[in-house]
Amino acid sequence: MKLLREKNLILLSIAQFISLFGDRLNNMALVGILGSYYSQSTFVFSGLAIFIALPSILFSPISGIIADKINRKKIMITIEILRALIVFLIPFIFIKFKNIVLIYFLIFLLYSLTLPFNNAKMASIPQMVNNIYTANAFLNTTGRLSIALGILFGGVIVDLYIWQKLGFEGWQIAFYIDSLTYLISAFIIAFITFEEQKKNNFEFQEIIEEEKSFLKKIIDDFKFGIKYISKDKFLSFVFKCIILTMLIISISYNVYLPYFQQNLGFGTKGIGIVGGFLGIGFIIGSSLFPIIAKKLGEIKIIIISHIVFPILFVLSLFVSNFFVLMLLFLIGGFTLSNLLISYDTFIQAVSDDSIRGRLFSFKEFLWSFSFLCFVFLIGIFGEILKIFFKFENVIKSIILIASAIVISLNLIFFNNLKTNKK
207 in a structural domain: no
User: Do 229 and 181 lie in a common domain?
Assistant: no
User: Do 108 and 158 lie in a common domain?
Assistant: yes
Helix (H, G, I), strand (E, B) or coil at 363: helix
Question: CATH number, domain at 67?
Answer: 1.20.1250.20
Please name which of 363, 159, 141 lies closest in space to residue 267, comparing C-alpha atoms: 159
Q: Using one digit for the tens of pLDDT, what is the confidence trace for 68-80?
A: 777 888 899 999 9
pLDDT-derived band of residue 212, with 50, 70 and 90 as boundaries? low
User: Do 250 and 132 lie in a common domain?
Assistant: no
pLDDT-derived band of residue 207, with 50, 70 and 90 as boundaries? low
- Distances in Å between the Cα of 77 and the Cα atoms of 19, 64, 83, 132, 232 are 12, 17, 10, 22, 47
Farthest CA pair distance, the chain: 69
Q: Which of 36-40, 137-141, 391-395 has the highest mean pLDDT?
A: 391-395
Q: Using one digit for the tens of pLDDT, what is the confidence trace for 324-371?
A: 988 999 999 899 988 988 988 888 888 776 677 777 777 877 888 888
pLDDT at position 198 is: 58
Q: Are residues 260 and 394 in contact, defined by beta-carbon separation less than 8 angstroms? A: no
Please name which of 65, 52, 17, 99 lies closest in space to residue 254, comparing C-alpha atoms: 52
Residue that is last in its domain, among 183, 202, 221: 202
Percent of the chain with pLDDT over 90: 25
Identify the sign of the CA torsion 329, 333, 334, 336.
Answer: positive
For 192, residues 6+ apart whose C-beta sits below 8 A from its C-beta are 8, 11, 12, 15, 73, 128
135 in a structural domain: yes
Q: Using one digit for the tens of pLDDT, what is the confidence trace for 24-46?
A: 888 888 988 888 888 778 788 88
22 in a structural domain: yes
Percent of the chain with pLDDT over 70: 90
Stated as kind and residue range, the H or E segment containing 65 is helix 60-69
User: Do 219 and 187 lie in a common domain?
Assistant: no
As a whole number, the mean pLDDT across the chain is: 84
**CA pair distance 57, 368, nearest whole angstrom:** 8
Q: How far is CA 154 from the centre of its chain?
A: 16
User: Do 176 and 222 lie in a common domain?
Assistant: no
User: Do 185 and 258 lie in a common domain?
Assistant: no
Q: Span 122-151, mean pLDDT?
A: 78
User: Do 391 and 338 lie in a common domain?
Assistant: yes
Domains in the chain: how many in total?
Answer: 2
User: Do 91 and 185 lie in a common domain?
Assistant: yes
pLDDT at position 196 is: 64
Per the model's pLDDT, the better-predicted residue between 307 and 166 turns out to be 307
pLDDT-derived band of residue 161, with 50, 70 and 90 as boundaries? confident
Identify the sign of the CA torsion 193, 196, 198, 202.
Answer: negative
Domain containing residue 244:
212-421
For residue 365, the 8-state DSSP code is H
User: Do 196 and 222 lie in a common domain?
Assistant: no
User: Do 140 and 287 lie in a common domain?
Assistant: no
3 pLDDT above the threshold of 90 = no
Please name which of 41, 44, 134, 128 lies closest in space to residue 94, comparing C-alpha atoms: 44
User: Do 173 and 250 lie in a common domain?
Assistant: no
Q: CB count, 10 Å around CB of 141?
A: 11
